[in-house]
Amino acid sequence: MPINPKIAQDVWKDIGQSVQFTVLKFKDLPQADLHDAIVDFADRSQAIIRSLRIRDGQNDGSPSTLKVAIGFSNHAWELLFPKSAKPKELETFAGMKGPKYSMPATEGDIFFHIRANNQAIVVEAQTQFMKFLKDFTEVVDSTQGFRYFEGRAIIGFIDGTEAPAPEDSADYALIGDEDAAFENGSYAFAQKWRHNMDFWNKMKTEHQEKAVGREKFSDLELEDDEKYENAHNVASKYEPNGVEQKIIRMNVPYSDPATGNTGTYFMGYARHWEVTKGMLQNMVDKSDFLLTFSELLSGQLFFIPSRDTLAQIADGDFD
């Protein structure tokens, strides 16, 4: 069967104006209780999404902008479904180290990526999801993101320029017949960065451009000899056998300006986890300039099942 985006969850469609990222971990409860809770939730979650899309109907007749992706870590999958097969590339992210910087691995079992133009719908979606999960889980991280001016990153540059065009995204984001049992699923890597904005803002624009590899206003790429050797668009490029590989980035800023807690929530969806992992390893190996003024707070891999696979979970087909 060919890849069918209509069966997939919302793994690349519309970054949104208001965004919620939530990571949960299971409480220390009997496996059977956790399994039954997730079987129930797999069904209820889809009904909640359908209901909220009706409630979010726009006055001008345009459809709801609510988009949701729900995922499970390797730890969660093996705990919930020990007798069932799992996606071929699903593993527990163990962190990465380079000569100067490292990327930590953090815990997490269930992941939510919720976004819409109306923040009320985002809040209501997470509220209703938690109604059925709060007795079985604890919150590891909850981060509210937002769309910055012109869709730029909080550091002022256009984000996602290197990502495939929307019409080409499915082939980069969705698992194909190489893992037929989990086709139309996706591998999501979630990573929270906190930036030292004082450091960044004191840099002259010319140096910022060399650090990113692009002009700040126009977004035009600099010539290679104009970039720093560890410019972001150099260090993050992954080219096995000389062929550049791509993922779908849906990064958004988060910020509490009063406390100075400001950063980027990196959100990468991929057909192959190996591609994302290769990019991350390059970033630490080459000491990506963005790491110079950033602290990495989290990092974990999640599998985003297709809606058909979620329906199978709801039917008890995974045990």
Whose CA is closest to 274, among 311, 236, 224, 240? 240
> Which of 33, 159, 168, 317 is flagged as catalytic?
159
CA of 113: how far to CAs of 18, 268, 299, in Å?
A: 11, 11, 14
Q: Following CA atoms 206, 211, 217, 220 in sequence, which dihedral angle do they give, to the nearest 10 degrees? A: 110
Residue 71's closest CA among 129, 41, 112?
A: 112
Residue 56 annotated in active site: no
List, by residue number, the catalytic residues: 159
